[in-house]
Amino acid sequence: MQNTQELIRQVYAAKEDAQAADRFICAYLPFIRAETARFLCRPPVEGQDDELSIAMIAFYEAIRRYSRVQGAFLRYASLLIRSRLIDFCRRERRHAQALSLEQPLGGDGPALADTLADRQDLQEEVTHRTAAQREIEALCCQIRQFGAELSDVADNCPRQQRTLDACRRALQCAKEHPELLDALIRTKRLPLGQLAALSGVERKTLERHRKYMIALLLIQTNGYEIIRGHIKQVLRGGSAR
């Protein structure tokens, strides 16, 4: 099994050199195929399944976007590939519905679109739930290393708008200072002193909502796109109590 540090070194080399990126992608084609097969529930056929090309593009996107603070590269790449494949399938379903779906199946029967809609909606929901479950399982595993749980996002969330705004300011500050995220990943502890000094947020406020801060930072920097999108909707939909 390849050394983690060597893998990260290759990823960073691929960021800067197109030939290195090509070599890296070729070396990990079995991984890309395996991720595509897991999505399709069958081996992909080269030249026939567009999903394989989408997965390769997503893998390259993962190389370009990856940072050490995002944890294991292959887990990050897996999540991004899954997300891009889901997006691709949704677009394909929408385009496919332009093909005579309004014609009745026969006599006074329902249109083909009407009979397929429920099935497609169900399949899309199952696919989305499966992807979300994978993200949740990966996040729960990672977040426990920091002495927190996914439930801490809600349970430890600031209840007053002023405090919520302060925590958001500190989160933004942490994202703008990679050394703080490096310290978090390395020590498994939130660098309260540095974060307070750089963000201007009182240390006691950060300490009170430490688990919430850790959870949000991990979610926002580790490729958890479905979870991150859900949290954004929740934060937009409801004000602090």
Distance CA 55, CA 110 (A): 37
Q: Which of 91, 179, 188 is nearest to 143 (CA)?
A: 188
Identify the domain containing residue 12 by its residue range. 4-96
| 18 within domain boundaries | yes
Structure confidence by residue, pLDDT tens digits, 99-145: 444 445 444 555 545 554 555 555 566 666 666 677 777 777 888 88
What domain count does the chain have? 2
| 142 within domain boundaries | no
Give me the residues paired with residue 104 across strands.
111
Distance CA 216, CA 146 (A): 12
pTM for the model: 0.50
Q: Whose structure tokens read 């302060």?
A: 166
| 60 within domain boundaries | yes
CATH code, domain carrying 31: 1.10.1740
Q: Which of 145, 139, 124 is nearest to 79 (CA)?
A: 139
| 216 within domain boundaries | yes
Structure confidence by residue, pLDDT tens digits, 147-169: 887 777 777 888 888 998 999 89
| 131 within domain boundaries | no
Last residue of a domain, one of 79, 96, 113: 96
Residues 162 and 91 in one domain: no
Give whole-number Cα distances, 200 to 48, 157, 166, 195, in Å.
55, 19, 9, 8
Q: Whose structure tokens read 């529930």?
A: 41
Last residue of a domain, one of 96, 131, 163: 96
